[in-house]
């Protein structure tokens, strides 16, 4: 049997452990930070206290508390020491996944803490619908494509200390799509479901861990979905049956935060194998963001207004269509419309979701003034 002394020691240890546990639970509540509205270290706004009648009060309260508990700054400093905190441009997530920070609105997009204003919704839809209507009146097929941010597909690797206020079903992108569906005839093609489905059915990565963009494999899923929306016959869709495994040691996020990230020497990615049967060149040396591609075996002509997410899809489309006119810009100019009228059959307007807000500040080149915010 245990001696009285041993029993006494065990009781003291148990009581001490309980006391320490209670203290650890209680300490974060000693001095709640009510004053600050922004975290300079994370370069983002702190969550506001939820309204009493909010249907998501519990979730919003949790985010408010996580942003303001006593000792949070020390907690962030410890994470910074272990390279777990974001710098102003890059968030270092779990398992060495990197995510774009760059501006607090990108973190706001992840936590789904803000919505588009009514004016922004109206302006974005007005711009896209004006282009769609113009294409329709000129006998051109039009498609508005939204490429998902990496955090939407691989959000489980985002930094734990950045908690969501609302689920992705209540993101700004979904708000915008809902607005289009209720108030316009344009049906945006958001590629998220195709990528999430492929993620479930395949162990292959669809985005680079150290880059903001999808890889060849992820872009191919987007390419196939776009063709389904265009109603393209399957015999015209480029089929990639051969893939090569390779590394992407240094991505654009390594370049943005070289002192706090390391090269990715462990991850394997699939790179498409295909014969380049097309020619591609800058359309105008003075305008390096415009490209022309020609393919002798292709049919119809495609015109694309896009951002960098189209880079990985460009080779697929360039082998499918007789010509691809590729504008790396958001704003459609009168001369672009003239080119489409005389040369284009189909028009794709592609935007990654984090840059959708830019569309609220563009006007269609017909003289129509957009509303001021």
Q: What digits encode the pLDDT tens for the residues 126-154?
A: 999 999 999 999 999 999 999 999 999 99
Residue 227 CB neighbours (<10 A): 18
pTM: 0.75
Q: What is the pLDDT of residue 335?
A: 92
Per-residue confidence band for 69, with pLDDT thresholds at 50, 70 and 90: low
Q: What is the pLDDT of residue 326?
A: 87
Query: CA end-to-end span of the chain, whole Å?
Result: 79
Q: What is the pLDDT of residue 370?
A: 44
Q: How far is it, in rounded angstroms, from Cα 173 to Cα 190?
A: 9
- Contact yes or no for 192/145 (Cβ under 8 A): no
Highest mean pLDDT: which range of 196-210, 224-238, 318-332: 196-210
Place of tokens 């992705």: 168
Q: What is the pLDDT of residue 84?
A: 46
Q: What is the pLDDT of residue 14?
A: 74
Residue whose C-alpha is closest to residue 149's, from 99, 220, 199: 99
What is the rounded average pLDDT of the residues 67-95? 66
Residue 172 CB partners (closer than 8 Å, separation 6+): 109, 112, 114, 115, 116, 353, 356, 357
The mean-pLDDT minimum among 155-159, 230-234, 278-282 falls in 278-282
Q: What is the pLDDT of residue 373?
A: 40
Per-residue confidence band for 274, with pLDDT thresholds at 50, 70 and 90: confident
The mean-pLDDT minimum among 87-101, 111-125, 191-205, 226-240 falls in 87-101
Residue 106 CB neighbours (<10 A): 19
- What pLDDT, in 10s, does the model give residues 102-122? 656 688 899 998 899 999 999
Q: How far is it, in rounded angstroms, from Cα 371 to Cα 321?
A: 38
What is the rounded average pLDDT of the residues 224-234? 94
What is the rounded average pLDDT of the residues 277-294? 63
Dmax (CA) for the chain in angstroms is 98
- Contact yes or no for 323/301 (Cβ under 8 A): yes
Residue whose C-alpha is closest to residue 164's, from 291, 316, 297, 58: 58
Bridge partner residues of 323 (DSSP)? 294, 301
What is the rounded average pLDDT of the residues 181-207? 97
Residue 343 CB neighbours (<10 A): 11
Residue 133 CB neighbours (<10 A): 16
What is the rounded average pLDDT of the residues 227-242? 91
Residue whose C-alpha is closest to residue 313's, from 250, 198, 225: 225
Residue 240 CB neighbours (<10 A): 17
Q: Is residue 257 scored above 70 in pLDDT? A: yes
The mean-pLDDT minimum among 191-195, 257-261, 298-302, 325-329 falls in 257-261
Instruction: Annotate 27-55 with three-state secondary structure.
Output: HHHCCCCCCCCEECCCCEECCCCCCCCCC
Q: What is the pLDDT of residue 256?
A: 87
Sign (positive or negative) of CA dihedral 148, 104, 177, 353: negative
What is residue 144's three-state secondary structure?
A: strand
Q: What is the pLDDT of residue 310?
A: 93
Q: What is the pLDDT of residue 116?
A: 94
> Is the pLDDT higher at 299 or at 351?
351
What is the rounded average pLDDT of the residues 161-174? 91
Sign (positive or negative) of CA dihedral 321, 327, 331, 332: negative
Q: How far is it, in rounded angstroms, from Cα 150 to Cα 300?
A: 32
Per-residue confidence band for 86, with pLDDT thresholds at 50, 70 and 90: very low
The alpha-helical segments, DSSP class H, found in 202-346 are 216-230, 252-256, 314-320, 334-343
> Is the pLDDT higher at 86 or at 90?
90
Q: What is the pLDDT of residue 282?
A: 61
Q: Is residue 297 scored above 70 in pLDDT? A: yes
């Amino acid at each position: 049997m245990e001696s009285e002394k041993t029993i006494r020691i065990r009781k003291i240890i148990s009581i001490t452990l309980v006391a320490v546990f209670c203290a650890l639970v209680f300490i974060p509540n000693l001095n709640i930070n009510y004053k600050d509205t922004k975290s300079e270290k994370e370069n983002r706004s702190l969550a506001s206290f939820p309204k009493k009648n909010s249907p998501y009060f519990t979730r919003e309260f949790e985010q408010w508390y996580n942003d303001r508990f006593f000792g949070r700054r020390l907690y962030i400093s410890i994470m910074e020491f272990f390279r777990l905190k974001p710098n102003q441009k890059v968030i270092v997530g779990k398992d060495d996944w990197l995510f774009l920070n760059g501006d607090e609105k990108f973190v706001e997009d992840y936590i789904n803490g803000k919505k588009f204003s009514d004016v922004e919704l109206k302006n974005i839809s007005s711009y896209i619908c004006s282009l769609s209507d113009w294409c329709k009146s000129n006998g051109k097929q039009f498609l508005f494509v939204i490429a998902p941010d990496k955090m939407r597909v691989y959000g489980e690797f985002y930094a734990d200390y950045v908690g969501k206020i609302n689920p992705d079903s209540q993101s700004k992108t979904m708000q915008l799509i809902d607005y289009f569906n209720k108030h316009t005839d344009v049906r945006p093609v958001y590629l998220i479901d195709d990528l999430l489905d492929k993620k479930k059915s395949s162990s292959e990565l669809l985005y680079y861990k150290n880059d903001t963009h999808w890889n060849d494999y992820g872009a191919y899923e987007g390419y196939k979905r776009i063709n389904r929306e265009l109603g393209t016959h399957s015999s015209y869709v480029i089929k990639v049956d051969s893939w090569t495994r390779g590394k992407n040691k240094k991505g654009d996020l390594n370049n943005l935060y070289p002192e706090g990230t390391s090269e990715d020497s462990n991850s394997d990615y699939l790179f498409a194998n295909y014969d380049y049967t097309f020619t591609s060149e800058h359309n105008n040396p003075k305008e390096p963001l415009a490209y022309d591609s020609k393919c002798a075996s292709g049919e119809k002509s495609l015109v694309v207004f896009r951002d960098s997410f189209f880079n990985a899809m460009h080779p697929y489309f360039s082998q499918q269509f007789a010509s691809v006119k590729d504008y790396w810009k958001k704003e459609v100019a009168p001369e672009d419309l003239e080119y489409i009228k005389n040369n284009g059959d189909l028009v794709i307007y592609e935007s990654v979701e984090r840059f959708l807000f830019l569309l609220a500040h563009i006007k269609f080149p017909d003289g129509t003034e957009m509303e001021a915010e």
